[in-house]
Structure 1
Amino acid sequence: MSDALQGAVDRGEMVPWFQPQYDLRTYRLVGAEVLCRWDHPEWGLVRPNDFIPLAEEIGIIDEIGQCMTEYALTAIGEWNIDISVNVSPVQLESGDFTSWLEQSLARLRYPAKRLTVEITEGRDLGDVPPLVARLDRLRNHGVGIAIDDFGAGHASLAQARRLHATELKIDRHLTGDDSPETTAQIAKAVAFARDAELRTVAEGVETTAQLHRVRQLGCTRGQGYLWSRPVPRDEMARMIATA
């Protein structure tokens, strides 16, 4: 697989899929998360969990991440909605990605605040102060900083404070667990977010019961199979046109 990954971006095999996000007060489509899919000529669509760790290991995550961010910026310009994109902590270990994105933002004709970078919290972030400095540079341009999969892995409210986050994405496992302990955990996160003026996005909303629960707890946005699975670019464009 590592040999096949080499040059996949240049061959146009890395393609964007989108999952819409909805405002939980109005139920309007207000944004989307861009998700990477590897469209391999023999294997078909390969999900990121199957190749992103390898891309990080062999050193090509930067080009994949930059490719997806370019798709995100293009989508913002075409659809005029908020778009979030996953950024691996590996991409932020040097200043190259940050510098590239700053240059890209300088050429935009629309607000940078439409873009949110999601920091995956399933692994240790390593040397945090330099990473925070790079994220702060992006925040100064108006870019949002989201803690992805909040409530899983290394994610914590302390980490959200340290990274100067602007958004918490509640992990799907919390969304799907209606136990009193998990409900209290979500309520605590939402209260923290409200006090810090952060946006909260409930991931993995699959049922109306889950929707009512996260809405009642105060989450501001939701995404999940209840509305839509991730879809190709053309299908996302149709959803926006008919929203």
Structure 2
Amino acid sequence: MKKVLITGANKSIGFETARQLLQQGHFVYLGSRDLENGQAAVQQLKAEGLNHVEAIQIDVSDSDSVRAARMDIGGKTESLDVLINNAGISGGMPQKALEAGVDQYRKVFETNVFGVVRVTQAFIDLLRNSPEPRIVNVSSSQGSLTVAADPSSFYYDHKGAVYQPSKSALNMYTIALAYELRGTPFKVNAVDPGFVATDFNNHRGTGTVQEAGARIARYAMLDENGPTGKFVSEEYNPETGDIPW
């Protein structure tokens, strides 16, 4: 049974991704910043008959919390097959380039970028012990420089001067990580779940968590012929998932 860690998985897209991977026969470590919320999510999944799941307290913005989560999971298993870096924050609105303070940028990057680095580096040894390790960084089409600069883009007038750069930085980290792990069994990709109706955007999204979870789960379950070092958005390009960086 393959083992998966999903950060920020006690609700919304992370929770639905956990559900779908459990339905596919995986064991899921359900990461949650608040352990009680994580345990409540686990109980909900178990009530659905999905029993191979355990809550793990992990705050990706806190190095001590990440280390503790690594020790906790490392005491239960010698390998991890999939890491899904899902935890993220928007930083609130509005986000004006001339008004957003450095502290606002720092808070968002602490979770959306540095948090991914912390978790990936902390769990890379367990991932290396898997015969088919997969890393999925949950990104956004909003992180595409090309799309953001295109006046014909549907979201052109929706600018987030804090959130968007954080996802652009995450995409670059994904490229660097995939490059360093080239020639190994690793598959490392950045996946846009789409504009999904969740608490994250006050339910203004047009997509469903079921669609988003399926997009992420698909890249968590890539076979040996699957891509690596890709940025994909099925919302942007339903046929191929290709989206410009």
Q: Return the TM-score normalized by structure 2.
A: 0.37
Q: Return the TM-score normalized by structure 1.
A: 0.38
Compare the two structures and name the one with the higher strand fraction: 1
